[in-house]
Amino acid sequence: MLAHDPDCVHLAHAFSSLIQSESSVTAHFVRGMVVEGDALIGCDGCRAAVRDAVYGSAPASYTGQVAFRALIPCGSELEHFRTQGASMYIGPNRMFLHYPLRKDTLMNVVAISRQPG
């Protein structure tokens, strides 16, 4: 389990390429580091190297959905939401989600909506 492993996150490594097989993916980084695993999750944005390696350099297309995110300190004004735990509210073309983080000291808030442009 990596939950308490200080070496499970490697900072200051720039992705350069990947090799994918039927059962694994190998990520190569600029300074020579190589990592193999069951999956590669690219969290480096829509104009990033991981996306380009998987999909090519074609520009990302707008889907019509936007997400607004915030981390809010949990004070007494958020007590009602904090005691609910994780909650999701769904409406036509909209979704609102909130859940506590860091032992109820922060509230993660996500709102997703459709926008024409």
Q: What integer pLDDT is reported at residue 1 of this predicted model?
A: 57
Average pLDDT, the chain: 86
Point out the residues of the chain with pLDDT beneath 50.
none
Number of domains in the chain: 2
Whether residue 47 is found in the same domain as residue 7 = yes
Give the pLDDT confidence score for residue 59 in this predicted structure.
Answer: 78
Which of 89-95's residues contact partners 24+ apart within 8 Å by CB, and which partners?
A: none
Same domain for 50 and 6: yes
Mark whether 52 and 87 lie in a shared domain. Answer: no
Q: What is the pLDDT of residue 5?
A: 78
Domain range for 72:
65-114
Q: Is 55 a catalytic residue?
A: no
How far, in Å, CA of 86 to CA of 117, rounded?
30
Of the residues 69, 94, 102, 114, only one is catalytic, namely: 69
State yes or no: is 99 an active-site residue.
yes
